[in-house]
Structure 1
Amino acid sequence: MDTIEPASEARPDKEPRTDRGRRTLRKLLDAAAAEFGEKGFHEASISGITRRAGTALGSFYTYFDSKDEIFRALVSDMSGMVRTHSAREVLPEMTPIEIEAAALKGFLKFARDHKEIYRIIDEAEFVDPASYRAHYETTAKRIVERLEKGAASGDFRPGLNEAHAWAIMGMNVFLGMRYAILAEDREIEEVVAVASDLLRNGIAKGE
C-alpha cells in the first residue's frame, strides 16, 4: 500500500510519536489489510498480521490491544486512503461533473490495486457496525458537499441532496465491484465515461 499517514484509532497513549513508530504502524495496517482481506476477520490472527508485517508480536501491542481494535483502525485507514486517492485525481480547473468523474476514477484505480477493501468493508458491517456506517456516511457527506458546491456555481440543478449523494455513491461502489473486483475487462476511462454520461444526461429518452 501507499506510504500514507496511518489514520489509526489507537488511544492517545498508543499513537506513534516518531517516524520509526509511524512506519511500524503503517506496516501493521498494511499487513492487517492483507490478512483480513485474504482470511476474513474471524480466521485472521494477530500473529498472522505481525508475521506479514515482519514485526515482533510485542510491536502489535504497542499500538493495539486486540484484533478488533486493529480492524477498526484499518477500516478508518482504508476509508481515508479512498478519500486521498480520489482527491489526487481532482484538478482545480475541473468543472463539478469532471470532479465527480475524477473521484470515481481515483476510487476505481484504488480498488483495482487494493481489492481487499471490499471484503474488509463488507465484514465491518458485522464486526464493527459503527465503522461500517461511518465509512459510507462520511463518503456521502463529501459527495453532498460537492453537489451543493456545483449547484451554487450553476453547474448542477438546485435541490440535490443526501439521497442523490447516496445514489451516486451506490453507483460508484457497484461499478468498483464489477470493474475492479469481479473483472477488469473494461478500461477505467470507459467506465468513468459511462458514469459521467449518466450523471450528465440521465437515462430517459430526450424530448
Structure 2
Amino acid sequence: MIDPGPRVVLVPDLGEDLARAMARLEESLLILRAAEEDGAVLPGPLSGGAALGALRRLWQALAPTQGRRAAAAWHAGRLYSPGRDELVPLRLVDIDPIDVATLSAAAAVLGRSLIAGCLPDEGRTDGSPIDRGPIDRGPINGGPIDGGAVREALEPDGAELVAVAAGISGLLDLADTGDTILLRERLAAAGLGADVVLTPVEERAYRATTDRFNAMWPRP
C-alpha cells in the first residue's frame, strides 16, 4: 500500500469526552494485546498491536486540540457566529489516513464479534458467560479468535466500545465538501489558537459540518 501521507482534517473540540473514550478503547485493546502475547490469535487490524498503535498515534495528534489540553498547547481559539454567539470550536489536525483506516477496520471486527455472540449471555440465570468458541478467522494466519479474549476485552459495554471506535474513525474520515474546505481554509488563515468570527456563509458551512459530526459522535 502506498502511504498517502498526513491529511489535514477538521475536528470538533469535544472537551474531555474524546479523551475518556479513547482511554477506554485503549484499555480494551491492551487486553487483546496481552491475550495475543499469551497465544490468542487475532485478525489483521487487531493483531500485532496494529489498532492499539494506530489509536495512540491518533490521540497524540488529537490531544492538543481537545479541552484543557488545547488550552495548554495554545490551540484553544474560540469560534463565534456572526452574532457573536460562542460555538463549539473546530480545530485543524494532521492525521495519518492509514491509522484511521486501521481503527475503522478494528471497529468492524469488534462489531462482528458482538454479532457473533462472544459476549456474556444476559439471559443466563446465573449471569455467567457462555463461551461460544471461535468467532472469526485471521486473514493472515488463519487461526480462530479466542472468544474468551474478545469477550474480556469488550466487557461490560461492548456495543458502546464498538461505537466509540467507529465514531472516532468516522470523525476523522469525514469526506471533504465545499463546507469543510471553506472552514479549513478560514481556520488555517486565522492561525493557530486565534479567535474567529464566522461570516454568514461560513456559519452555514459550520452548521452543515457539525450536523455531520453529530451523526458520527452525538453530543448530549
TM-score by length of 1: 0.32
**Greater gyration radius:** 2
Greater helix share, 1 or 2?
1
Q: Which has the higher contact order (CA 8 A, sep 6+)?
A: 2
